C-alpha cells in the first residue's frame, strides 16, 4: 500500500487483521480552522499575541480551512494512517468548525462513517481481546 504499510511489512509484521498484527498509526493534529486560510492564520496570530508567545504542540499544527484539512487527512490516509485525533485549538470556535464544516466535507468524500461497525475502539480496529496476564493458566 503506502509508506507505513511497507515499513510494517519490512519489520516482519505484514497486515493480518485476523491475527491482530496490523500496526495502527494515528495522526495527531491541533487545528485552527476558519472560512479562509487567511482568517485562520490571522486568528492564530491574535491568539499568539494574547498569549505572548507562539503556540507550540507535540502534535502537528494545522492552520487553514476545513477543505484543506480534509485534503491533508485524505493524503495521510492514503499514506497508511489508520485514523486521526483532532484537537480544536480554541473552543468553541474550532470545535464548531470541525463539526459543521469538516465532518460534512469528509462525508461528501465518503471518508467519514455514517455508523459504527463495532461497539469498542478495539472492535473498530479489528483487534482481538488480549490475554489477561493475571488470569490463572
How long is the chain?
Answer: 137
Provide the pLDDT confidence category of residue 33 given band limits of 50, 70 and 90. very high
pLDDT at 23 over 80: no
Distance between first and last Cα of the chain: 39
CB distance 78 to 2 below 8 Å: yes
Spell 24-51 as b/e; 16+ CB within 10 A means b: eeebebbbbbbeeeeebeebbeeeeeee
Q: What is the pTM of this model?
A: 0.79
Grid cell locating 49: 499575541
- Higher-confidence position of 39 and 25: 39
Radius of gyration of the chain (CA): 18
Per mean pLDDT, which of 60-64, 74-78, 115-119 is the most reliable? 60-64
Q: Is 32 helix (H, G, I), strand (E, B) or coil?
A: strand
Tens-place pLDDT, residues 86-108: 999 999 999 999 999 999 999 99
Give phi and psi for 110, each to the nearest 5: 60, 40
Cβ within 8 Å of residue 24, ≥6 positions away: 82, 83, 125
Amino acid at each position: 500500500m503506502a509508506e507505513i504499510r511497507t515499513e510494517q511489512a519490512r519489520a516482519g509484521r505484514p497486515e493480518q487483521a485476523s491475527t491482530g498484527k496490523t500496526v495502527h498509526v494515528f495522526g495527531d493534529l491541533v487545528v485552527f480552522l476558519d472560512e479562509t486560510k487567511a482568517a485562520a492564520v490571522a486568528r492564530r496570530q491574535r491568539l499568539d499575541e494574547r498569549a505572548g508567545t507562539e503556540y507550540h504542540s507535540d502534535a502537528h499544527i494545522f492552520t487553514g480551512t476545513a477543505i484543506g484539512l480534509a485534503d491533508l487527512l485524505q493524503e495521510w490516509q492514503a499514506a497508511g494512517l489508520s485514523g486521526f485525533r483532532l484537537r480544536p485549538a480554541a473552543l468553541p470556535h474550532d470545535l464548531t468548525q470541525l463539526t459543521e464544516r469538516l465532518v460534512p466535507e469528509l462525508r461528501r468524500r465518503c471518508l467519514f462513517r455514517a455508523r459504527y461497525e463495532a461497539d469498542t475502539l478495539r472492535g473498530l480496529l479489528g483487534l482481538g481481546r488480549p490475554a489477561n496476564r493475571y488470569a490463572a493458566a
